[in-house]
């Protein structure tokens, strides 16, 4: 089968599987993204091996998640973010600090050396709220106090984790690459701040120019996407997650877009592309390859300990910080669980450590199990807590 035909067949299989499992989990009262994750796991190497993760699917996945986060920024409120900015910083700092300490202690308990334990702490430090954003958006809580704090904390968390990674990598690898990476991260932060400032300051003029000169109906939406993806691409090139750039680009337009109804025009693209990120996350799991050459008992103990440390660090660190910020207990713990997922920067860090020989396959497998455990558990827990909050109001 030719390359183009193979890619199209893979996409077809994934779409059919995703829609089947989405319908199934919706009937069970769960969010559809859980069906997308299950579709990737079952169709991918973990179960049937019908589809292997490849560049075509990865491209669709990143388009989907960047568009989702870009629109999440457009749906946010600058005034609400300013109002909850300190709370977001506290939540992010609490989660990173608690997870880093617990992960290092877990590594020490499991008998890893200082460098492995330190690198394990860096792997577990980041969060990935794509899952939580999708659930909160479906429940109408993304622009609520909880949603604003989660989005703000996710951005701060990502920045803190990337800076921590750069410092630890330079210490452990003892190479100039770490300092170059740190310089890139600082440049990325500067670029993101400048892009946000300029977009926010001139958003009305930009929109007027886009809408005023458009001769084709879909031109304004496409040009907005070009800006959002462009900012995301530059932040990624400079060493930050592209999701940071996408979010701040969308946030820059948030106030100016009120009343234009632009989000509704992205619904079809969002519904088509976003599931591929969660499908791709399922496809990446290949436990059989990771288990080769490992002693089963050792791997099981390491996985259980590391998963527990990773989950507890985020839930307790972020949840307690949210309580200290003055949020009601149910909202505070909802934020704690919403900050629990991993599926982005942590995977990049884990791959880097494995390739450099800093960590072994048992730590890498444990990181993968943490990613999928939190990705599957978070939608169920967040949806349950969110419904309780909505019912109490």
Q: Is 113 exposed, middle or buried (CB count within 10 Å of its CB: 0-12, 13-18, 19+)?
A: exposed
Torsion of CA 45, 49, 50, 55, to 10 degrees: 30
Range of the domain at 58: 3-392
Predicted local confidence at residue 230, as pLDDT = 93
**Count of domains observed in the chain:** 1
Predicted local confidence at residue 80, as pLDDT = 63
Predicted local confidence at residue 217, as pLDDT = 66
* Cβ(89)–Cβ(82) below 8 Å: no
Closest CA relative to residue 18, chosen from 277, 210, 322, 205? 277
CATH number of domain containing 34: 1.20.1530.20
Angle between helices 145-173 and 242-253 (to 10 degrees): 150
Predicted local confidence at residue 222, as pLDDT = 83
* pLDDT per residue as tens, the chain (393 positions): 557 788 889 999 999 999 999 999 888 766 787 788 889 989 998 889 898 888 888 888 888 888 888 887 887 767 766 676 788 889 999 999 999 999 999 999 999 988 899 999 999 998 877 777 777 777 777 777 888 888 888 878 877 876 787 677 766 665 545 566 667 778 888 898 899 999 988 888 887 777 767 677 667 778 888 899 999 999 888 877 787 888 889 888 887 777 666 667 777 888 888 888 888 878 877 777 666 766 777 778 889 999 999 999 999 999 999 999 888 998 999 999 999 988 666 776 787 777 678 888 788 888 888 887 887 888 888 888 887 765 555
**Structure token digits, residue 281:** 């996350």
CA distance 234 to 188: 8
Exposure string (b/e) for 201-215, b if CB count within 10 Å is 16 or more? eebeebbeebeeeee
Distances (CA, A) of 276 to 18, 373, 377: 9, 19, 19
Terminal C-alpha separation, the chain = 56
Residue 240 region, left (φ>0) first, then alpha (ψ -120 to 50), else beta? Answer: beta
* Cβ(372)–Cβ(41) below 8 Å: yes
Instruction: Tell me how crowded residue 119 is: count the other CB atoms within 10 A of its CB.
Output: 30
* Cβ(80)–Cβ(42) below 8 Å: no
CA distance 292 to 130: 31
* Sequence-ordered list of residues with C-beta below 8 angstroms from that of 34, at least 6 positions apart, any chain: 25, 376, 379, 380
Predicted local confidence at residue 337, as pLDDT = 93
Predicted local confidence at residue 32, as pLDDT = 81
Model pTM score: 0.72
Predicted local confidence at residue 233, as pLDDT = 92
Predicted local confidence at residue 173, as pLDDT = 60
**Structure token digits, residue 196:** 């946000």
SS3 at position 326? coil
């Amino acid at each position: 089968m030719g390359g183009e035909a193979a890619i199209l067949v893979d996409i077809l299989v994934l779409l059919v599987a995703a829609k089947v499992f989405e319908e199934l989990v919706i009937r069970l009262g769960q969010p559809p993204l859980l069906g997308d994750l299950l579709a990737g796991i079952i169709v991918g190497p973990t179960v049937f091996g019908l589809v292997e993760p490849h560049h075509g699917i990865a491209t669709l996945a990143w388009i989907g998640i960047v568009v989702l986060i870009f629109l999440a920024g457009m749906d946010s409120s600058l005034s609400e973010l300013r109002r909850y900015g300190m709370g977001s910083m506290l939540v992010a700092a609490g989660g990173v600090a608690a997870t880093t300490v617990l992960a290092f202690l877990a590594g020490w308990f499991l008998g890893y050396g200082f460098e492995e334990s330190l690198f394990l702490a860096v792997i577990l430090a980041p969060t990935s709220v794509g899952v939580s954003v999708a659930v909160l958006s479906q429940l109408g809580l993304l622009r609520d106090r909880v949603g604003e704090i989660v989005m703000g904390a996710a951005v701060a968390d990502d920045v803190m984790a990337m800076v921590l990674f750069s410092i630890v990598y330079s210490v452990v690898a003892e190479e100039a690459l770490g300092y170059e990476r740190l310089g890139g991260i600082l440049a990325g932060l500067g670029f993101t701040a400048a892009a946000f400032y300029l977009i926010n300051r001139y958003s009305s003029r930009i929109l007027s120019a886009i809408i005023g000169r458009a001769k084709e109906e879909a031109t304004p939406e496409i040009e907005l996407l070009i800006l959002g993806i462009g900012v995301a691409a530059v932040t990624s090139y400079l060493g930050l997650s592209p999701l940071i750039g996408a979010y701040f680009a969308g946030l820059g337009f948030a106030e100016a877009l009120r009343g234009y109804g632009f989000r509704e025009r992205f619904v079809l693209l969002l519904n088509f592309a976003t599931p591929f990120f969660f499908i791709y996350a399922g496809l990446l799991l290949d436990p059989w390859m990771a288990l080769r050459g490992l002693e089963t008992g050792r791997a099981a103990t390491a996985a259980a300990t590391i998963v527990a440390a990773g989950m507890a660090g985020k839930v307790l660190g972020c949840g307690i910080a949210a309580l200290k910020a003055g949020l009601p207990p149910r909202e505070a713990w909802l934020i704690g669980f919403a900050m629990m997922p991993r599926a982005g920067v942590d995977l990049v860090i884990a791959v880097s450590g494995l390739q450099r020989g800093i960590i072994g396959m048992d730590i890498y497998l444990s990181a993968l199990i943490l990613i999928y455990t939190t990705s599957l558990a978070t939608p169920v827990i967040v949806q349950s807590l969110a419904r309780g909050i909505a019912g109490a109001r």
